[in-house]
Amino acid sequence: MKAIGIDLGTTNSVVTRYNDVRGTASVLANAESETLTPSVVGMRERDGSQKLLVGRNAVNFAARNPTDTVVSVKRLMGRDYAHETVAQARDRLTYEIVPGADDDPRAHVVIAGKHYTPAEVSSIILDKLRRDAARALGEEVTHAVITVPAYFLDAQRAATREAGTQAGLTVKKIIDEPTAAAVAFGLELNDQERRRVLVYDLGGGTFDISILHMAKDKDGRGHFQVLSFTGDSWLGGDDFDHAIVNRIIEWVKADSGVDPTGDKKFLFVARSKAEEAKRQLSQLDDADIVIPAAYRMPEGGGLGDVDMVITRDEYEAMIQPLVERTMRLVQQALADQNLSPEDISDVLLVGGSTLTPKVYETVESYFGAGKVRRDVNPMECVALGAGILAGTMNGVECPSCARANEEDAEVCEGCHQSLTGARTLDAPKIYEVTGMALGIGAVRGAQQDAFVPIIPRGTPYPLPEPMKRSFNTTDGRRIRVPVYEGDSTVASKNTEQGVVEYELPQEIDVNTRVDVSFNYDSDRIVTVRISVPGTHMIKEMTLRTDTPRTLQPAAQEYAEENIEWRQQLTATAAETHRFLETHGEFIDPAQTLTIRRHLEQAERALHFSDDTECQRMANVLRKDLYGSGVASQFLLAERATAGAPPETARQLNNAVADVRRSYQAGNSELVGEQTRLLRTLIAQAFTERDVAEVDDAVDFDGLLRIDE
């Protein structure tokens, strides 16, 4: 078994191997004798045949076929097509990004007419890295430690693990890039020396800040405790390139009046030239950007050339807002731990973008030049840390009896207890924390889209024991527990990890307490357990966030009916917009945000989704209309008044006016009493007209309720 470390980068990837004799890792050259492999996949078509190109070969051919050349695919890993990051990518990148087929919500990319998931594209890159490493080492490579940005969500980590598996690798560990860099730096520590380190990791596509305690014990083993991390998944060297591309576009418009933004080939070449200029401006005071025959002149004027100069001062002014964004995140990370710059002993600059003078000068100005370690290679240190881990992870220790077991063992050979969460032997000890909260979507008061954390942000993992919260059922025997990762109090604004469903057995009362517990292992895999205290009812499920999510069975049943759900959704969305305009002041602000989010999702469903998704969103909006507290009662009163006898209509109008006045006066107790009277009048009005009250048809779709 040969294991390697892989820094799977947005722009370039690096492979390392561990040397047992020296106790260090070294970088392996690829088949092109380069240490950096471009994270690029393209297609070459010649004489009717097609061939996938990877790395430098893909880059060299890209200008001739930019629409079939995939770059920066890391930014799409684990993302649904509807995610805002994917929308940004569609605006910037030259290749096509499309939704998955049928019920697969993930983003896909198109290469020569064939659809690939971002994980599949990454697996093509990883396969080349594996084969090149085997060639350099003269033996088969079977295992790897792969790095990811610290701020990658669980779905993105799972997609990275899946890419490794598809490339024929056993993924020993997915490790955060800043932590891997700290492991490489930790080789310099003296025994029993302690440091508090901040890792400033600005790569091609993502920015991470991690704060760690580092130490070596008396046996020389490194200990790395992650205190906190934060970051931005859309902030990196690509954005520096994009700023230069925008300047090139401005130059073309001013010089010729031509807008080249619709020309995919121009954009691809401009991006390549922008990247070259960025590197030059790290060394020189100006950079020439020359692109012969770059764009087509108007009215048959032939092809126009780009011939312009960007000075370092201009470039630094362009990227100043981006650098300031990184420093705001640095300040946030320090504040989260109640630390000041003086409390940091070392600052590690990681990622190729930290070679930009404006970047490292800004960091040095904030922390002091003496603390900023520029002697660590920013392009290689992440991969070196991964290589050290890959070579030193030699089995796992049973948490129950301390017996050593093989790395892929699921239960201990000695005591037969589960090895979930077991720590590795010999390797540096890494103590990580959750970057975001993990919890479920539930009902809280009048809000049907509340996020209830079960594992708080910043919790060390693997957990010594599951964490639990108690809930109550809301309606029927169906229990539906949607699991989310994020920090918003609104569940749907976070990232869905999966849904666990269960039907209560007949012997258990419908109105009962339900416990939901989460366990979180060292590979950041969450196991959800649903149980009813005092009974044998238990439902346990390990969430695989890298697999396609399907719509709920109830939604699929509706889809089989011949209903024009697009028309239904269009009408319901229009009614919801009117509802917000008319009664918005009486809706809880968090609920208002939820409704607006649902309206955005509804609009995307109308443009990109099938009837099943349109039906689902129509039902979601109906719940918003009739589950928004006082405002929903006003809506029902409007409907009840239409066609009601004059005296009933008068009573309803008076009751609505009373509730409005009390609400605006802030008298919540009186609002409650008057709303109950209003509900009674609404029910009477519907009864008189022999019409079912709309509110009665609205349920919570199996969500649990938390009473706090």
- Contact by Cβ (8 Å): 675, 630: yes
Among 3.40.50.300, 3.30.530.20, 3.90.640.10, 3.40.390.10, what is the CATH number of 237-319?
Answer: 3.90.640.10
Angle at 245 between CA 315 and CA 331, to 5 degrees: 50
Using one digit for the tens of pLDDT, what is the confidence trace for 123-167? 999 999 999 999 999 999 999 999 999 888 888 888 999 999 999
User: If the chain, 708 residues long, is cut into consecutive pieces of 10 residues, what is the mean pLDDT of each piece?
Assistant: 92 93 88 96 87 94 91 91 84 89 85 94 97 96 94 86 94 91 82 86 91 82 86 88 96 93 90 94 95 87 92 97 96 93 95 94 95 88 94 78 71 78 69 89 81 91 89 82 89 84 82 90 83 87 54 33 64 89 88 86 73 76 83 86 81 91 88 86 71 50 81
User: How much is the pLDDT for 215?
Assistant: 87
- Tell me, which fold does domain 437-549 have in CATH? Substrate Binding Domain Of DNAk; Chain A, domain 1 (2.60.34)
User: How much is the pLDDT for 680?
Assistant: 83
User: How much is the pLDDT for 558?
Assistant: 32
Read off the tokens for 499.
């849904």
Residues of the chain with CATH 3.90.640.10: 237-319
- Cβ of 320: how many Cβ atoms within 10 Å? 13
Could you tell me which of 636, 700, 608, 703 has the C-alpha nearest to residue 99?
608
Cα separation, 107 vs 119, in Å, equals: 10
User: How much is the pLDDT for 269?
Assistant: 92
The DSSP bridge pattern shows strands 286-296 and 303-311 to be antiparallel
User: How much is the pLDDT for 609?
Assistant: 57
Tell me how many helices (H) and strands (E) the chain has: 17, 32
Could you tell me which of 655, 649, 694 has the C-alpha nearest to residue 678?
655
User: How much is the pLDDT for 288?
Assistant: 96
User: How much is the pLDDT for 556?
Assistant: 34
User: How much is the pLDDT for 437?
Assistant: 92
Measure the N-to-C terminal CA separation of the chain; round to a whole number of Å.
53
Cα separation, 437 vs 431, in Å, equals: 17
Cα separation, 561 vs 201, in Å, equals: 52
Taking CA atoms, 340 is separated from 211, 264, 360, 609, in Å, by 12, 46, 19, 49
Residues of the chain with CATH 2.60.34.10: 437-549
Read off the tokens for 102.
């049928």
High-pLDDT (> 90) share of the chain, %: 45
CA gyration radius, the chain:
29
Cα separation, 145 vs 175, in Å, equals: 7
The torsion angles phi and psi of 290, rounded to 5 degrees, stand at -125, 120
- For the whole prediction, is pTM greater than 0.75? no
Taking CA atoms, 165 is separated from 126, 130, 141, 393, 465, in Å, by 9, 11, 13, 18, 29
Could you tell me which residues come within 8 angstroms of residue 271 by beta carbon, excluding any fewer than 6 positions away? 241, 242, 245
- Tell me, which fold does domain 3-182 have in CATH? Nucleotidyltransferase; domain 5 (3.30.420)
Using one digit for the tens of pLDDT, what is the confidence trace for 202-233? 998 889 999 999 887 777 778 888 988 888 87
Could you tell me which of 190, 211, 158, 177 has the C-alpha nearest to residue 336?
211
